[in-house]
Chain A
Amino acid sequence: MRILSLAGRRLAASIPTLFLILIGVFLLLQLAPGDTVDALMAQMGGGDAATAKQLREFYGLDLSVPAQLANYLWRLVRLDLGFSSIYGKPVATVILERLPPTILLMTASLSFAFFFGLVFGVIAARGVNRWPDTMISTLGLIFYATPSFWFGLMAIVVFSVYLQWLPPGGFEDIGRVQTGIWRVLDIAAHLVLPTLTLGLIFLAIYLRIMRASMLEVLNLDFVRTARAKGLDETHVITRHVLRNALLPMVTLIGLQAGTMLGGSVVVESVFSLPGLGRLAYESVVQRDLNTLLGIVFVSALLVITVNFVVDLLYARLDPRIAAEG
């Protein structure tokens, strides 16, 4: 229970941060040229000044900036994110529709990067400064330097255009109505390339951290003790080293959650996935500032949630953290 209260306290501490972000971005967006009504009028094909005035009154845009901010925050407390004039739906609905592909993509990429980062990190650390290590570390450096959108495009050329193994984009095949397991498999096939594309840079980061952390733990006294009492090497690695070496990796998940969400903006655009990232891009292009602000709120919320889960995981991996409080 101490773990929960500790993580809960961290969670409570992030609420002021959330408000800080919202107030900051809200004020920032006041500087943007044009407001919701301008966008709306442009969509309607223009209109006279009286209609614009009426609309501004309707949306509360005729009030002073502090009053608007107060209104916005008060609506937010009731989980009302406002109305998107471009999509003609409440922002909350628009975002909820777009959330599943992004969460699926992020989870898949994270699992891919974490698992292979761990495996390659361990292999590299076991053969430090020999050829497997050199090869893995070099590959890691190259992956780190690869722009994700470019890798995605090249993957489309190779796997979709030439080999025709995988679909070049989209979330599922909309030409066919599919149910059950076939639909799941179809979505999975669509997500293979985006997952690899988004996960690549994180794979590079994870394997580097895993390698360094393994090397550090391998030199500690308790590992020597484990070896001295005659445990075989596999046992030493899996039972004693791995658990301790995992701590920095788990920390990294929390630190990288935001970066990953940002990366999904680009990856979703490359593979035309109908996710949150693509929505962010569209709302910038279409000047749908209400939706953009909603996305800021939801992505900050996502990052905070990931960090909360990481806190819980961390305490499970290392009991000392929960004990110290």
Chain B
Amino acid sequence: MDAVKRYFRSPAAVIGLILLLLVIAMAISAGLLYPRDPLALAGRPLIWPFSNPRFLLGTDNSGRDIAAQIFYGARISLLIGGVATAIAILIGILVGAFAGYYGGWVDNVLMRITEAFQTLPNFVLLLVLVAVFGSTLTTVTIAVGVVSWPAPARLTRAEFLSLRNREFVQAGKTLGMKDIQLILGEILPNALPPVIVYASVVMAVAILLESALAFLRLSDPNVASWGNLIGLGRDVLRVQWYVSAIPGIAILVTVLAVSLVGQGLNDALNPRLKSR
């Protein structure tokens, strides 16, 4: 309960939470407010925002409602961000836990692989994955997850290294518990909090990665995503710059919200570091 109180004492964390809830509300209400396909033709192309009450945020180059695309885009960004983060954290925990717990050659091999992933620029690896497996919603989500796991893996490994020789682990060993029981049941719950907090960073980066990919027209073109819309608006940037501007603000707000919530959680869970 203390942690919750500490969280709500920070104005930045509260603002972040409000913004995040707003984006989630947009994602949920998209179907209710805009029951029609957001990628279907809705009206005249390139209507400026606030000039026609039917299209509050105007229409894009092919006459699709921008507001509808923003609402549905919230779904895509949260979906890709969430699932990719879950994949990255899961792989990261597995690799980090085994490397940190066993040490020796297991650690050596796993860390070499992690290093290889970190040496290769993650966006370049993302391009390779998209080139090989194509760009559907599923492949892009998995690809973003696959390029994002090294940092959580290193974090988990560091936690395991500092925990594996603690007394409670020794006690478990003496009781004859199996390695897998010790890893999952004893050490992992203690190692988890910083990793979970770090997930917010992974999610922020994942949303930015996907939007960059969509902007380059290498993500799924058949869904209403913010990055797609920015890429589309680029063709009419000189005059109708609002087509690109509006979805960019949506991305900015979402990433900002995720980072603020993550930072708030971090400060609430590690009160000793708060003073810095």
Contacts and interface: CB of A to CB of B under 8 A. Distances in A.
A196 B193 CA distance: 36
A292 B131 contact: yes
Contacts, number: 150
A185 interface: no
A50 to B, nearest CB: 28
Contact of B124 (A144, A215, A262): A262
A17 B119 contact: yes
A226 interface: no
B112 A20 contact: yes
Interface stretch (A21-29, A230-238, A316-324): A21-29
Interface stretch (B160-168, B173-181, B212-220): B212-220
B120 interface: yes
A28 B216 contact: no
A202 B20 CA distance: 24
A284 B115 CA distance: 24
Interface residue SS majority, chain A: helix
Contacts of B28: none
A28 B252 contact: no
A300 interface: yes
Contacts of A309: none
Interface centre among B128, B216, B276 (most CB of A within 10 A): B128
B134 to A, nearest CB: 8
A188 interface: no
Interface centre among A146, A150, A261 (most CB of B within 10 A): A150
A31 B237 contact: no
Contact of A258 (B121, B216, B248): B121
Contacts of B215: 147, 149-150, 266
A145 interface: yes
Interface of A: 14, 16-18, 20-21, 24-25, 28-29, 31-32, 141-142, 144-151, 153-154, 156-157, 161, 212, 215-216, 258-263, 265-266, 269, 280-281, 284-285, 287, 289, 292, 295-296, 299-300, 303-304
7 contacts: A16-B112, A20-B112, A147-B215, A147-B251, A150-B215, A153-B230, A266-B216
